[in-house]
């Protein structure tokens, strides 16, 4: 093998890599990568065209969040009534603290977590939530 053959081989390999890269870029711009529907690779029936994720439209998502918040507020009322009758129920105090935390009612969540830690000291999960 002489010098010219070696230079031609290196040039050919380099040219092949460049052509492959450019072809990949052109194909990716024409058809973006698809999102996996699930572990089996099947696409969700709710998925949009070209494998787009199945996120609900913004108004529907906002409505779902409002419904969830209303359900949490209703659960808060029920737990508050329950705690008036059973003030030392640690699990009800913790659940009420978690609901207030989810609704970003930080002061109430802090007070409830502190109350829970008085009932069950040393609970690491509640201590970390209180720290947050």
Q: What is the pLDDT of residues 19-62, one digit of tens each?
A: 998 888 887 777 655 655 444 444 444 445 555 555 555 778 88
Residue 63 has pLDDT above 60, yes or no: yes
Instruction: Output DSSP code: residue 104.
Output: T
| pLDDT at residue 101 greater than cutoff 80 | yes
- Alpha-carbon span 25 to 27, nearest angstrom: 5
Calculate the average pLDDT of the chain.
81
Position 77 pLDDT exceeds 80: yes
80, 90 Cβ separation under 8 angstroms:
no
Looking at residue 56, its pLDDT comes to: 56
pLDDT of residue 117: 92
pTM for the full model? 0.52
- Cα-based distances in Å from 11 to 15, 36, 65: 6, 38, 59
Among the listed residues 114, 88, 89, the one whose alpha carbon sits nearest the alpha carbon of residue 101: 114
Six-digit token pair at 5? 């053959």
pLDDT tens by residue, 106-130: 999 999 999 999 999 888 888 888 8
2's CB contacts (< 8 A; 6+ apart) are none
SS3 73: helix
Per-residue pLDDT at 9 exceeds 70: yes
Nearest to 34 by CA among 15, 21, 48: 48
């Amino acid at each position: 093998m002489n010098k010219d053959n070696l230079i031609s081989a290196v040039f050919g390999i380099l040219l092949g890599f460049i052509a492959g890269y450019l072809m990949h870029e052109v194909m990716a711009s024409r058809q973006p990568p698809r999102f996996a529907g699930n572990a089996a690779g099947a696409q969700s029936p709710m998925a949009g065209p070209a494998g787009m994720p199945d996120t609900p439209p913004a108004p529907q998502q906002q409505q779902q969040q409002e419904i969830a918040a209303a359900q949490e507020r209703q659960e808060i009322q029920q737990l508050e009534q329950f705690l008036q009758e059973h003030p030392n129920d640690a699990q009800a105090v913790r659940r009420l603290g978690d609901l207030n935390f989810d609704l970003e009612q930080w002061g109430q969540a802090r007070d409830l977590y502190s109350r829970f830690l008085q009932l069950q000291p040393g609970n690491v999960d509640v201590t970390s939530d209180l720290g947050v």
